[in-house]
Amino acid sequence: MVDTHRAGPGRERRADEPDARARGDFHGVLAYGVRLPQLGEPPNDERTCAPEPQLNRRAFLKTGALALSSVALWACERDLPVAPRGEGAGGQEPRFFFASGIENSYPLLPNGRRIDEMEKCDHYRRWREDFELARELGLGALRYGPAYYRTNHAPGRYDWSSVDDQMEWLRSSGIRVIADLCHFGVPSWLAGFQDVAFPTQFAAYAREFARRYPWVRYYTPINEIYVAATFSAWFGWWNEGLTTERTFATALRNLCVAHELAVLAILAERPDAIFVQAETIEHYEPADDSADAARQAAFWNEARYTALDLTLGRPPSPASLDLLRQGATSDSDLAFFRQRRAPGQRWLGVDYYVTCEQVVSGDGGRAPAPRRTGLAALARDYHRRYGIPLFVSETNRVDTLALEWLDEQWREKQLLDRAGIPVKGFTWYPLTDVVDWRYALRIERNDVDPIGLCDLARSVRPVGKAYSALITGAYA
């Protein structure tokens, strides 16, 4: 059972009151099962929204440390796609991606220790084996990216030596890279996601990556914005380690601005880039018949959407707007978010786990829902809201349940097909087992979570063999 007890809407936790941030009640919930709601709004009637503030976008985008090229500014101002220029290796976009990924989280803990999953899983030493496994399994795409903190040592200083050979191997292999540029952490010279310099500095980093590897077309600029903000600035587990609504709202605002500035920076180098925006998809039900539980469920069912609403050009709901204002989200910010960038070049990455559907009690405590509606039902809701193609960007389950889970999620993907909803790819994530994700990477015990296609000895698990057979059968 997962109990992510917290203050929640309308309730402040007492200083002496234990909660899930301190208790560590995550045994039995393995990697990526610790997932929290996406902040945002329920479907709303735009007639209820405040008038849209106006913004001189060119002036806005030329402020700070990032000076975008005229190509990116033109794309932003016109809200039009620019002409494609080819895919690099292979030359044509596949109709469907079977993918996995290298787990590359690297949050900083409050004690100053950084948890780098690529180090924990020995990827830095065994990356050739990992990529060979991906090729042997028949994968067409790999979610992969360098550790941001290793490659951006100071403002304007970049060191690509930890990733150049890896990227060249992938380029020559024909495996498409979905570049994952910020995965739950920032360099130590930034003050976490609270730092006002983060958005422009990250966009500059994204531009340099796209310039160095121009053959990369697919990008996840920032992975799971809402989880990054929640764990870093509300639960206090990672990075800045803060625990207030104001700091949470600040992190959320900065992450969303950074994501969208990075989109523009990447477009300046790769005008036909495709953005796979990976977020968990969530749903909440009251745990009982109390008014408090109903209020909590209603709040979080609204809250789950905010990061996507901001980055995909939908106005935030009044409740979400009140929260964002605590983090100093300005009228200019909101006007910037309302402008839709890269139209026709966005896919919604949906991350689905057994804990994505939860029941919530009146005091904010949560547990996995006893009955799930499933990936297809949740994904349909998100597609109805945003109207862009879907990409199943993460799913997994512990090895003893993995085969059943793979079969269920593939059937759910087929339900989406039959409903006429475009699905661009399917991802069992990650390629190998991971370490300490059962604790949400907030403590270091070096416990292995057996959820990969392969174990840490690089032996293919039964689910890896089944996934490879699925891929072979799909192309037969």
Task: Domain ranges for the chain, please list them.
Answer: 20-475
CA 450 to chain centroid: 21
Cross-strand pairs, 143: 101, 178
Mean of the per-residue pLDDT values of the chain: 84
Cβ distance 223 to 185 under 8 Å? no
Q: Can you give the length of the chain in residues?
A: 476
- Confidence at residue 91, expressed as pLDDT on a 0 to 100 scale: 54
Q: Token pair for residue 375?
A: 């990936």
Whether 34 has a pLDDT exceeding 70, the answer reads no
Determine how β-strand 366-368 pairs with β-strand 157-158.
Answer: unpaired
Q: HEC string of the chain?
A: CCCCCCCCCCCCCCCCCCCHHHHCCCCCCCCCCCCCCCECCCCCCHHHCCCCCCCCHHHHHCCCCCCCCHHHHHHHHHCCCCCCCCCCCCCCCCCCEEEEECCCCCCECCCCCECCHHHHCCHHHHHHHHHHHHHHCCCCEEEECCCHHHHEEECCEECCCCCHHHHHHHHHHCCEEEEEEECCCCCCCCCHHHCCCHHHHHHHHHHHHHHHCCCCCEEEEECCHHHHHHHHHCCCCCCCCCCCHHHHHHHHHHHHHHHHHHHHHHHHHCCCCEEEEEEECCEEEECCCCHHHHHHHHHHHHHECHHHHHHCCCCCCHHHHHHHHHCCCCHHHHHHHHCCCCCCCEEEEEECCHHHEEEECCCCCEEECCCCCCHHHHHHHHHHHHCCCEEEEECCCCHHHHHHHHHHHHHHHHHHHHCCCCEEEEECCCCECEECHHHCCCCCCCCEECCCCECCCCCECHHHHHHHHHHHHHHC
Averaged pLDDT for residues 189-196: 97
- Cα separation, 399 vs 319, whole angstroms: 40
pLDDT at 287: 95
pLDDT range class, residue 36, cuts 50, 70, 90? very low
Q: Do 264 and 76 meet the contact criterion of CB atoms below 8 Å apart?
A: yes
pLDDT digits (tens, 9 = 90+) for 232-261: 999 999 999 999 989 999 999 999 999 999
The token duo for 240 is: 């800045």
What the block records as the tokens of 152 is 């951006």
Per-residue confidence (pLDDT) for residue 6, from 0 to 100: 37
The yes-or-no verdict on residue 12 having pLDDT over 80 is no
Distance CA 366, CA 395 (A): 20
Please state, in angstroms and as integers, the Cα–Cα distance from residue 292 to each residue in 3, 242, 296, 319, 364, following that order.
17, 26, 6, 17, 9
User: CA–CA separation, 130 vs 216, rounded Å?
Assistant: 19
Superfamily of domain 20-475: Glycosidases (3.20.20.80)
Among 304, 149, 335, 301, which Cα is nearest to 225's? 304
Look up residue 416 and give its two tokens: 């989406």
Tokens 């990032």 sit on residue: 66
pLDDT at 28 over 50: no
Task: Please compute the mean of the pLDDT values over residues 362-385 and round it to a whole number.
Answer: 94
The residue assigned the tokens 């909440």 is: 284
- Least confident range from 36-50, 156-170, 227-241: namely 36-50
pLDDT digits (tens, 9 = 90+) for 395-408: 999 999 999 999 99
Closest to 461 measured CA to CA, from 410, 398, 407, 408: 398
Residues pairing with 286 in the sheet: 360
